[in-house]
């Protein structure tokens, strides 16, 4: 993929999911399953009091606030959109969580964080939009301490059965075209140095999201007329709903552990305990 095209798609995704329209169509939940699946993902990776958590593609900061308020974690969010980062900071301050959350502008493929500085990394409904997914996974691993955990929530896809109209740049913004089958995510993580990969399927969350978009488009059809082709949007959403019902598109929570750092050997050939490679 052309690097500039990748940047355009990421910027477009950030703009779309930071908009009032997206919040309207998605019923306020900017990823399938909403807070309920965020809590379940936190259970899978074992987030608890004092954990240092990196939230990649943090958006408006809803996940960061939930993990800080409910789990006692200290959360650092990174998002490509300066507008979303500014809004997340305001929301956190308004919730009294500014001392346990932080938000910075950054690219998932070049995270602005130090090596081995987090216990857990989470990334919800975003990995499928990254142009270089292997680079992003490598960055997730770099950010984690040895033995740290990653929790990914994302769209899953049987690409051979995907309707061609959804395998487009528009489909990528809709979190479809860049999605992988479950085996693809497993391979991506294992190739990136992760072990103990666990997958939990939640197709019902994908279906609820598509149904929410369809209902929102139908309800606001007149108000949206002139902003974009509502009829075409409805057609694509119906294609997506059919694909979910047929098992072509799904949604899953994926947890894994980053491998231990390679041992550091001194000049005499002895292992240096506690040192990070």
Tell me the pLDDT tens digit for each residue of 122-169.
999 999 889 899 999 999 999 999 999 999 999 999 989 988 888 765
| Edge-to-edge strand ranges of the sheet holding 52-56 | 101-105, 74-79, 52-56, 118-124, 144-157, 249-258, 194-201
- Summarize pLDDT for 8-55 with one digit per residue, the tens: 445 545 544 454 555 545 545 567 899 999 999 999 999 999 999 999
Looking at residues 66-74, what average pLDDT do you find? 98
Residue 197 neighbours by CB under 8 Å, 6+ apart: 185, 186, 189, 190, 254, 255, 256
Can you tell me the distance from the alpha carbon of 78 to that of 70, in angstroms, rounded to the nearest whole number?
20
Looking at residues 257-265, what average pLDDT do you find? 60
Selected from 3.40.50.150, 3.40.640.10, 3.40.50.300, 3.40.190.10, the CATH number assigned to the domain covering 3-203+248-258 reads: 3.40.50.150
Residue 248 pLDDT > 90: yes
The domain segmentation of the chain, as residue ranges, is 3-203+248-258
Q: Which of 250, 100, 245 lies closest to 185 in space, CA to CA? A: 250
Whole-model pTM? 0.82
């Amino acid at each position: 993929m052309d690097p500039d095209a990748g940047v355009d798609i990421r910027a477009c995704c950030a703009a779309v999911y930071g908009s009032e329209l997206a919040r309207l169509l998605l019923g306020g939940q900017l990823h399938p399953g909403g807070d309920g699946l965020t809590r379940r993902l936190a259970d899978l990776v074992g987030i608890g009091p004092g954990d240092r958590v990196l939230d990649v593609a943090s958006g408006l900061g809803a996940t960061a606030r939930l993990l800080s308020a409910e789990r006692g974690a200290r959360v650092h969010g990174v998002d490509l959109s300066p507008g979303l980062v500014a809004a997340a900071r305001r929301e956190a301050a308004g919730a009294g969580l500014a001392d346990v959350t932080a938000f910075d502008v950054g690219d998932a493929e070049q995270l602005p964080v130090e090596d081995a500085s987090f216990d857990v990394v989470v990334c919800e409904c975003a990995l499928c939009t990254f142009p270089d997914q292997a680079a992003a996974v490598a960055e997730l691993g770099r950010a984690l301490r040895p033995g740290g955990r990653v929790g990914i929530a994302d769209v899953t896809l049987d690409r051979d059965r995907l309707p061609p109209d959804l395998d487009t740049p528009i489909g990528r913004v809709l979190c479809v075209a860049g999605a992988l089958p479950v085996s693809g995510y497993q391979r991506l993580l294992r190739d990136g140095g992760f072990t103990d990969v666990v997958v939990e399927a939640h197709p019902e969350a994908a279906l609820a999201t598509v149904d929410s978009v369809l209902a929102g488009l139908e309800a606001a059809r007149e108000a949206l007329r002139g902003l974009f082709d509502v009829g075409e949007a409805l057609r694509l959403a119906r294609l997506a709903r059919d694909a979910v019902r047929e098992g072509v598109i799904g949604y899953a929570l994926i947890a894994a552990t980053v491998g231990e750092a390679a041992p550091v050997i001194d000049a005499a050939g002895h292992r240096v305990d506690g040192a990070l490679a």
